[in-house]
Amino acid sequence: MSRIETRGRHLNHVATLYDPLIDRLSFGREQRFRELTLRHMAITPDEQILDIGCGTGSLTLLAAEQLSAKGSIIGIDAAPKMITLAQAKAKRQDSIARFQSGVAERLPFADGQFSLVVSSMFCHHIDRELKQLAFAEMHRVLRPDGRLVTADIDSPSTLLGWLTGWAGRWLLFQPELEDNLHGKLPTLMAEAGFIDICRPDHVHGLISFWTANRGPA
């Protein structure tokens, strides 16, 4: 599977280590974080869901368990090795979840195809222009009554959060983090056309959850 070109960062080079690495770095909190994300997604059984930046598919597969035969969920990621691992997981679990390579700034889907778009810990990997394009694409592929759920790094609310966030910016040479750390994501969502933008949760002094509606056509 070839990688789709994007200017954004991807984690193809660490795909095989991603799951155990995240589990260790999060001190076992990753599962609780996914469960919190699912709660904010508020899935109904017949949803048509798109998971952007799905990685190895852990959240996508959990969401699929809440869907009926009429529902569907597709996970996309720019890293082909991530998609290969996600597809293998789906096969082992006999899941209805589907996975394919794709980039957020050029979504390979029709206008109004989904009722829910979710993006978990993805936006801090892409620069300002790509964030703008990605949110515009998320808005495009949602139905008029569709909604967005985003979980990502935000303006820190604790000293530890501030140290962690800004250390990541400078030690990892990741300027893409700055929009997040300055709290810009809701503004970028609004510029893309989203309405009713709300931050229902903020955890670990650094990560926020946002919900938003696409609004009328």
DSSP 159-173: HHHHHHHHHHHHHTT
Question: Residue 163: what are its φ and ψ, rounded to 5°?
Answer: -65, -45
Question: Which of these, 126, 75, 82, 86, lies nearest to 105 by C-alpha position?
Answer: 126
86 pLDDT band, cuts 50/70/90, is very high
The 3-state DSSP class for residue 2 equals coil
Q: What pLDDT is recorded for position 15? A: 57
Give yes or no for a contact between 53 and 83, defined as CB atoms under 8 angstroms apart. no
Integer Cα distance of 195 and 108 in angstroms: 24
More confident residue, 46 or 171: 46
pLDDT at 28 over 70: no
Is residue 119 within 8 Å of 40, Cβ to Cβ?
no
Topology of domain 12-213, per CATH? Rossmann fold (3.40.50)
Asked whether 23 and 196 are in contact (CB, 8 A), the reply is no
CA 215/CA 193 separation, integer angstroms: 8
Q: What are phi and psi of 149, to 5 degrees?
A: -125, 125
Helix (H), strand (E) at residue 134: helix 128-141
Q: Which amino acid is at 59?
A: L
The residues pairing with 212 across neighbouring beta strands, listed in sequence order, are 148
Local confidence band at 217 (pLDDT 50, 70, 90 cut-offs):
confident
DSSP assigned state of 143: E
Query: What local confidence, expressed as pLDDT, does residue 173 receive?
Result: 81
Rounded mean pLDDT of the chain? Answer: 90
- For residue 58, pLDDT beyond 90: yes
Q: Is the pLDDT of residue 2 over 60?
A: no
Residue 30: which pLDDT band, with cuts at 50, 70 and 90?
Answer: confident
C-alpha R_g of the chain: 16
Q: Which tens digits make up the pLDDT trace of 118-132?
A: 999 999 999 999 999
* Structure tokens given for 171: 């030690």
CB count in 10 Å sphere of residue 157: 14
* Percent of the chain residues topping a pLDDT of 90: 79
In the chain, the N- to C-terminal Cα span, in Å, equals: 36
**pLDDT at residue 13 is higher than 90:** no
Residue 23 binned pLDDT confidence (cut-offs 50, 70, 90): low
Each residue's pLDDT tens digit, 43-55? 999 999 999 999 9
The answer, yes or no, to whether residue 67 has pLDDT greater than 90, is yes
Give pTM, 2 decimals: 0.90
Question: Would you say residue 64 has pLDDT above 60?
Answer: yes
Output the pLDDT for position 99.
Answer: 98
pLDDT of the residue at 53? 94
Q: What are the distances in angstroms from CA 31 to CA 28, 36, 56, 90, 217? A: 7, 9, 14, 18, 36
Q: Can you read off the two tokens belonging to residue 3?
A: 């990688």
Give the bridge partners for 73, in sequence order.
49
* Cβ neighbours around 193 below 10 Å, total: 15
